């Protein structure tokens, strides 16, 4: 992901090398670049002023064509023989031919804002005639040798690349997309120190903590937090930032992403010691130290339903302090042509903007498939986009993809290859010691009273129970304790034993799903000891 400084370096490098004279800046294009300049002013002062452009013009579909000063408008009218003087608010089909004349006859910079409103995403067949004409002009400008030789430059701005017609990104044209990222932690810290230097608000946290908590926010949003704190007379605290941040992110991406704010940590889930240890040593600690080489591109959790795969992801989010989002395909799929693909691009971009972030996909075997012609290629397009994104090595240690499945055999092999989900962790049935721990944790979680100190006897009675089924037993025990003919609501040994007799395991095909998870495992160290021999037998069979 490019930071706010590197987007300008990327643009300048491509402009100087002659790769292109037409650029599409997208994503965080309405934010402060430094402590006081927005993007248009920054580009003007750092790029335009130093290169003697004769005309600097701005166009968007609502305000029409405007100029940096009256002299530049006069120059434009001279070049166009005053034929466009009454067309400054006209639609592109009438105005763009005159802009074309100016671009080819003097050194000109043209800013086109909200370009997605001029050439929106979708099939060309669904575009209006006006949109098609605008698309042709914009594409033709990128390959015009006359514009290149004169030194003119076209800069387009869009909040979301997925909202812009895909035609302009075809290799036959020379329009360069430039991703404008959110500020990284060091940039946020520098800006926060600048904001707080006037002493107008009180803070209960340090600038370092503020910078960490504000991950995923633009400088504009950070400034809004400061202004709201000042207006409400409330000190800036962890809870204050969390509330404002959630509001901002929900407004921006809530339609395509589910934001997770976990309340449980590793200490709140029983068992899974090998998985917890692996995640701490290979995800949390390396990212905190900045050594991303150890972090896997993606992690696949395999095992029967109810074994705690989702709980483990949420606990990792709390233990690490990283942002956590969940991809829910029901939020992605739309009813109009191209809407699902556009939503999915926005979903991935929104997730990427939160880095370091855990991106969780539950039941991935159902969520991502190549699909068939029955859905007009939507599933195939989304699947292809997902493959490309999960295989992007620049996301290593920044976007941690974790997926869960109880049927890894139904997943597309392309998803499971090394370099995407390159670590497969089996989450299996708890053993007796882990079951006893789960009983204790669940009773403490619900704050049930009990006079039992050693839960091993109940662990021995619940062989082949999942964590979810043990929770069902505990809740059943509380029901029994609350019955009218019982005294008090203490979970005694007799009550728990009675609950076990009345609740039977309901998870289907547990052994089958267990074997699938063992077969999928690619690291013997992550298997419970009693299953390691099975993995050895599988390896011998493969030979």
Closest CA to 396 of 362, 352, 434: 352
Taking residues 337-353, what's their average pLDDT?
79
pLDDT score, position 5: 52
Q: How many CA atoms lie within 13 A of 102 on its CB side?
A: 30
How many Å apart are CA 62 and CA 471, to the nearest integer? 59
Mean pLDDT of the chain: 86
Structure tokens at 198: 């006037």
Q: Which residue has the higher pLDDT, 280 or 262?
A: 280
Taking residues 295-315, what's their average pLDDT?
88
How many Å apart are CA 102 and CA 85, to the nearest integer? 13
Q: Which residues contact 314 (CB under 8 A, 6 or more apart)?
A: 260, 262, 264, 324
pLDDT score, position 2: 40
Q: Which residues contact 481 (CB under 8 A, 6 or more apart)?
A: 448, 488, 489, 490, 491, 492, 495
pLDDT score, position 130: 95
pLDDT score, position 376: 61
Query: Residue 388 CA to chain centroid, in angstroms?
Result: 14
pLDDT score, position 144: 96
- Positive or negative torsion for Cα 391, 392, 397, 402: negative
How far CA 248 is from CA of 33, 216, 225, 242, 259, in Å, comes to 19, 10, 10, 10, 12
DSSP assignments along 93-134, one per residue: HHHHHHHHHHHHHS-EEEEE-SHHHHSBSS-GGGS-HHHHHH
In this model, does residue 369 exceed pLDDT 80? Answer: no
Which of these ranges, 106-115, 328-337, 415-424, has the smallest mean pLDDT?
Answer: 328-337
In this model, does residue 139 exceed pLDDT 90? Answer: yes
Q: Which residue has the higher pLDDT, 16 or 503?
A: 16
SS (H, E, C) 379-393: HHHHHHHHHHHHCCH
Neighbours of 449 (CB within 10 A): 12
Beta bridge partners of 403: 300, 361
Q: Collapsing DSSP states into helix, strand and coil, what is residue 484?
A: coil
How far CA 298 is from CA of 183, 279, 508, in Å, comes to 24, 12, 28
Radius of gyration of the chain from its Cα atoms, rounded to whole angstroms? 29
Q: Which residues contact 253 (CB under 8 A, 6 or more apart)?
A: 259, 346, 347, 350
Which of these ranges, 138-142, 211-215, 331-335, 477-481, has the smallest mean pLDDT?
Answer: 331-335
In this model, does residue 471 exceed pLDDT 60? Answer: yes
* Alpha helices, DSSP H, located in 333-466: 339-352, 364-367, 378-390, 413-416, 432-445, 456-461
Taking residues 228-246, what's their average pLDDT?
87
CB of 309 closer than 8 Å to CB of 468: no
pLDDT digits (tens, 9 = 90+) for 73-126: 999 999 999 999 999 999 999 999 999 999 999 999 999 999 999 999 888 888
* Alpha helices, DSSP H, located in 214-261: 219-232, 238-253
pLDDT score, position 115: 96
Taking residues 34-55, what's their average pLDDT?
92
CB of 294 closer than 8 Å to CB of 286: yes
Dihedral of CA atoms 74, 40, 194, 221 in degrees, nearest 10, equals 130
Our CA angle for 429, 433, 439, nearest 5°, is: 80
In this model, does residue 394 exceed pLDDT 90? Answer: no
Taking residues 158-187, what's their average pLDDT?
89
Taking residues 481-497, what's their average pLDDT?
77
Q: Which residue has the higher pLDDT, 156 or 457?
A: 156
In this model, does residue 534 exceed pLDDT 80? Answer: no
How many Å apart are CA 61 and CA 117, to the nearest integer? 7
**Structural domains of the chain sorted by starting position, each given as residue range(s) with its CATH number in brackets:** 4-180 (3.40.50), 185-252 (1.10.8.60), 266-426 (3.40.50.300), 432-502 (1.10.8.60)
pLDDT score, position 488: 63
Which of these ranges, 118-132, 330-344, 491-505, has the smallest mean pLDDT?
Answer: 330-344
pLDDT score, position 4: 44
Give the length of the chain.
543
In this model, does residue 22 exceed pLDDT 60? Answer: yes
Q: How far apart are the first and last CA of the chain?
A: 42
In this model, does residue 536 exceed pLDDT 90? Answer: no
- Reported as a pLDDT band with limits 50, 70 and 90, residue 246 is confident
């Amino acid at each position: 992901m490019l930071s706010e400084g590197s987007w300008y370096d990327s643009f300048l490098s491509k402009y100087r090398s002659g790769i292109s004279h037409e650029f599409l800046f997208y994503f965080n294009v309405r934010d402060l670049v430094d402590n006081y300049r927005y993007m248009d002013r920054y580009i003007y002062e750092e790029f335009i002023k130093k290169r003697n452009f004769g005309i600097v013009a701005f166009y968007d579909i609502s305000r029409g064509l405007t100029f940096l000063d009256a002299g530049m408008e006069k120059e434009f009218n001279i070049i166009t023989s005053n034929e466009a003087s009454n067309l400054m608010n006209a639609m592109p089909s009438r105005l763009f031919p005159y802009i074309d004349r100016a671009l080819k006859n003097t050194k000109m910079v043209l800013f086109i804002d909200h370009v997605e409103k001029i050439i929106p995403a979708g099939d060309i067949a669904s575009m209006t005639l006006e949109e098609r004409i605008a698309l042709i002009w914009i594409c033709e400008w990128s390959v015009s040798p006359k514009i290149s030789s004169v030194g003119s430059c076209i800069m387009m701005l869009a909040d979301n690349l997925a909202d812009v017609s895909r035609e302009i990104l075809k290799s036959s044209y020379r329009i360069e997309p430039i991703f404008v990222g959110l500020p990284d932690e060091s940039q946020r810290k520098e800006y926060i120190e600048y904001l707080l230097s006037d002493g107008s608000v009180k803070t209960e946290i340090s600038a370092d903590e503020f910078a960490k908590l504000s991950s995923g926010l633009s400088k504009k949003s950070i400034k809004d937090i400061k202004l709201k704190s000042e207006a409400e007379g409330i000190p800036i605290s962890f809870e204050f930032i969390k509330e404002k941040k959630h509001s901002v992110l929900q407004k921006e991406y809530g339609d395509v992403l589910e934001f997770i704010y976990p309340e449980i940590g590793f200490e709140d889930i029983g068992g899974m010691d090998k998985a917890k240890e692996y995640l701490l040593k290979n995800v949390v600690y390396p990212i905190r130290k900045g050594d991303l080489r150890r972090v896997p591109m993606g992690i696949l959790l395999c095992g029967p339903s109810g074994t705690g795969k989702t709980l483990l992801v949420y606990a990792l989010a709390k233990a690490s302090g990283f942002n956590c989002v969940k991809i829910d395909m029901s939020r992605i799929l739309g009813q109009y042509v191209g809407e699902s693909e556009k939503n999915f691009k926005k979903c991935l971009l929104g997730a990427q903007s939160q880095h370091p972030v855990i991106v969780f996909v539950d039941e991935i075997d159902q969520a991502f498939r190549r699909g068939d012609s029955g859905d007009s290629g939507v599933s195939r397009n989304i699947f292809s986009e997902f493959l490309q994104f999960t295989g992007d090595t620049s996301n290593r240690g920044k976007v941690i993809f974790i997926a869960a499945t109880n049927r890894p055999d139904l997943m597309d092999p392309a998803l499971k290859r090394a370099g995407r989900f390159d670590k497969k962790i089996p989450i299996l049935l708890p053993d007796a010691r882990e079951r006893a721990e789960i009983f204790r944790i669940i009773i403490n979680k619900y704050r049930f009273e009990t006079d039992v100190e050693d839960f091993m006897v109940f662990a021995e009675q619940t062989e082949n129970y999942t964590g979810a089924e043990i929770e069902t037993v505990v809740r059943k025990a509380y029901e029994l304790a609350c019955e009218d003919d019982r005294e008090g609501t203490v979970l005694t040994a007799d009550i728990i034993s009675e609950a076990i007799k009345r609740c039977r395991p309901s998870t289907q095909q547990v052994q089958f799903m267990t074997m699938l998870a063992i077969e999928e495992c690619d690291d013997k160290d992550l298997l419970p000891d009693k299953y390691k021999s099975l993995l050895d037998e599988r390896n011998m069979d493969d030979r």
